[in-house]
Amino acid sequence: MRTRSLEQVLKERVWNLVGSDLEEVETEIGRELSSPVPLIQEMAGYIATAGGKRLRPMLLLLAARLAGYRGPRSIRLACVVELLHTATLIHDDVVDQAPLRRGRPSVNAQWGDDASVLVGDHLYSKSFASLVRDNDPRVMETLARATVSMTEAEVFQLERKREGLTSEADYVRIITQKTASFMSACCRIGALLGGLSEAHVDALTRYGLDVGVAFQISDDSLDFVADQDRLGKAIGADLREGKRTLPLIATLARATASEAERVRQLLRRRTLPPDEIEEIRQLVIQHDGVDYALARAHAYAQAAKQDLEVFSPSEERETLGLIADFVVDRDR
């Protein structure tokens, strides 16, 4: 199945299963972003129209349906996880000084770092206020653990970047704690809403973790080979920010000593011009760094589908399986 047809099939399945729920989530997000402070209102409007696939709310809603839950809490909590996710993106862009987000100027590029950090904090606060209203200790604990894990991973990633040393094990640890732990939390919350057995809750939790790792490896691979307009960020953005992702880590392990030293010298610089970014990118392609990374992503996607085998066949299970395929086979 080609990527585009897979994407179309997935969109149709998701719409049929949780399309109306996702529309309600959008409405809820709009209400939560409303503020009497003009700057918050202006920035919130920009954020709300930024697009995105709403993957995390989608995972929560589908997991809840697979668990047999139908009700308003899944809408409310899907809004919570999207607000949290948006806050982390805003803060990430400030740390990385990213100029683009989803194909247009990032919030920090538009309004500056100070306003961006404060609005990110505001979104965190709004999301946790909603959690308090929901008043489920199991859900609170799940999201609290995930956010602690994410912030630890951010600091660890910064530490590795400053030292100029990131092994494959370091990289997997970072993306597991930073990206995958949050997707895992979304799936776990959906499972908890349905009151599943511990074994089934754990299975959906593992599924979210495996999907999250697969997603991030694929996303990092796209930084070397994707169409910039489709990716929504500048190609080579990770290189500009000094990040060592799996395609580059694999390349450094396969390159000659002189090639590897050249790359390390370049990455120690504060800024890289386009020709030097292209030099590194071509080396990654030459040494099949992207192919290696995508093979690892496919393995995690396959593991995610195996995690779902404890559930009886259903449209929800099949759609979650399609998501696992899609996150590693997106258009490049």
Q: pLDDT (tens digit, 0 to 9) for every residue of the chain, 332 residues total? A: 444 578 899 999 999 999 999 999 999 999 998 999 999 888 887 887 776 789 999 999 999 999 999 999 999 999 999 999 999 989 988 988 888 777 788 899 999 999 999 999 999 999 999 999 999 999 999 999 999 999 999 999 999 988 888 999 999 999 999 999 999 999 999 999 999 999 999 999 999 999 999 999 999 999 898 766 555 556 788 888 888 999 999 999 999 999 999 999 998 887 888 899 999 999 999 999 999 999 999 999 999 999 999 999 999 999 999 999 999 987 54
pTM of the model: 0.93
Domains annotated on the chain, with CATH = 3-328 (1.10.600.10)
Short-list 63, 57, 70, CA closest to 27: 57
Rounded CA gap, 32 and 309, in Å? 37
- Sign of the CA dihedral with 129 first, then 134, 135, and 137 last: negative
pLDDT at 292: 98
